[in-house]
Chains A and B, each alone.
Chain A
């Protein structure tokens, strides 16, 4: 995205207003400007099937889906199902659902292998705003758009919604003040970036750039945490001063 105005300033991608080249935010609408010189920017083809994090996420997804359905079915059957053979009906349903989940697992593995060719090319950026990522897989982008179009044409809002959801995840950014925890896996050159309750993004680094990126993340995340702590303290102090008055 080119945001330079060509006059020594930069044009806001949101409202089009021109601000000075040093500005981090638009003076008109307050939107953040992308960092013209990110600290780290790299692209990497992430292996999918032979990646423990991908498999872990897949297992986690299937486990939570299974657990939620198991609880829902239990409640529904208990409330509306036949009383006499409750457990038998429940386990029969659960068995069927287990087959469906197993089918989904195989389908996901097949998609990773056959559709993506076991590689997912992603670009990462670490800059003053935070940690950003963007999908560089044109076939995945096309598939997302095709799902939206096919969903609309076939009057299947679920398919279109899934396509839109996938499209929204093609790129994103985790701002420094959102980061609550970092987990480092030096042997695998991977860093898990977590907010207050989940892993938002896993940074797959190369063996060459991993040490530098790990250092930057530690530094920036600590600085952001101190800033948040300072902000909270100042709010607390001002609130207590108001209370004293």
Chain B
């Protein structure tokens, strides 16, 4: 059972690491100070390009023949369409911290990227604005909304797909630092747990078993992580369990099952002693005294010899196939010395 446990822990560690690596918030909110003057100039300013196409000429014509009003009017117009009433709290220090962060100062500075300060939706005081942001987004799918707090304009941007935003990695993937710990811990347990068949004379070659376990865990973790990578968040991936994500996780589970068959091989061993044999299997050990063995016959498949069959005095038969087993000759040797088996003509 220890071999099953070893592989389950390895798989769990690899999958937990993948989960934590890709774990990201479902939504994010960013805050910036809108520059209406610049926005006004961008929208309504004179276009001076070396080469102007038909669209640019058309825009220039509209600009000259219509009156967009001044910057103050533009600001008022923009705010009024997507305005969130500010909460009845003194948020001046918070707005100060936003201003400082945008200059690369203060405790909120690490949250800044591309002139935006990023927050989780549940963080105060963003949570106070969240109903308004959601209302505007829900009404017309506007991602931007505005408010005026402590006499200063703020622009909120709703990020329903945070991984496409410019948010800093530590905020976007907050668990990545832990992911390595889980993986390393699982690997440590895998290698440090005592090996069931280590003392056996005859056992499966441990090198391919270890290589396949590690390859299997990598492949299983890959197919486990694939939906987490493809979807916008782990929660979205879980919601897609009856779709592509479910198929990918089925493949992962299949690979995990193959690893469990490796556990069967790893646990198998035959300890040869002067008085009898000890068979180690996944389910436990079994001692067979030589006196219990009635006969030993070869197992042949046509012209190919596959191993030996022990027939016990109780009538029970035990097949011992030598494919992949190391040191099988030691078993043949003891069976020959005790008179149970005479190796046949060399094939």
Contacts and interface: CB of A to CB of B under 8 A. Distances in A.
Interface size grouping (class) on chain A: 20 to 34
A207 B324 CA distance: 11
B204 to A, nearest CB: 6
Given A208-B344, A208-B346, A47 B329 contact: no
A52 B212 CA distance: 10
A175 to B, nearest CB: 22
B326 A187 contact: yes
- Name which of A42, A49, A188 has the most chain B CB atoms within 10 A of its CB: A49
Contacts, number: 71
A138 to B, nearest CB: 13
Given A42-B346, A208-B343, A49 B323 contact: no
B305 A45 contact: no
Nearest to B218: A102
Contacts of A49: 208, 212
Contacts of A52: 205, 207-208, 211
A50 B208 contact: yes
A106 B217 CA distance: 12
A43 B212 contact: no
B215 A121 contact: no
A50 B209 contact: yes
B204 A206 contact: no
A125 to B, nearest CB: 11
| Most A Cβ at <10 Å: residue of B212, B219, B322, B324 | B324
A183 to B, nearest CB: 16
Contacts of B258: 113
A47 B346 contact: no
Interface of B: 204-205, 207-209, 211-212, 215, 219, 258, 265, 301, 303-306, 322-324, 326-329, 331-332, 343-344, 346-347
Given A51-B208, A207-B329, 10 more contacts: A41-B347, A43-B303, A45-B306, A49-B208, A50-B209, A51-B324, A52-B207, A55-B212, A207-B328, A213-B346
